[in-house]
Structure 1
């Protein structure tokens, strides 16, 4: 594994597998082989957490709900690839999920 590892822990009781897999797909589309791994980890109790090499990028309970794709990509970028340009996702006023 050459790049940072992203772990998405999701609640199976809440049926958030689809959301977790979509977020994983978005991250892989953006960062591709720069990431060492994207791992989905089943959990319970309403958990939805995204960590980069063990550092929290998003926590549903702490951050209030779920991130949109652009927000999650920015947070992962800030932890894993500081200074990397995300194109239109970095421009003010853009809240598009299509990055």
Structure 2
């Protein structure tokens, strides 16, 4: 089953480039597991990442942005549990 990732980012804060870079990283790491990564504009300081409509990261809840390593591990846990991410897991 191919999974869908949605990254909701704040347009007021100009976080599109950060969201696009994270989307690129996820697509590169999970090209077989993902059907798409969607970028969804939002407001009010939002930066949320969902896999199949289930949250894996919320800037409001965590109080910060994810490191790409953390984000890849959380996405991996949803789309390919048990898969080794190489240097990301070290």
Common fold by TM > 0.5: yes
C-alpha distance in structure 2 between counterparts of 1:68 and 1:27, whole Å:
12
In terms of fraction of residues, the more strand-rich structure is 2
CA contact (8 A) 2:6 2:38 kept: yes
Aligned length: 90
Partner of 2:34: 35
Alpha-carbon deviation of 1:26? 0.5
- Unpaired runs of 5+ residues, structure 2, are none
> TM-score w.r.t. structure 2 length?
0.95
Alignment of 1:26-65 (within 5 A): 26-65=25-64
Partner of 1:85: 84
Supply the RMSD in Å over aligned alpha carbons.
0.9
4+ aligned runs moved over 3 Å, structure 1: none
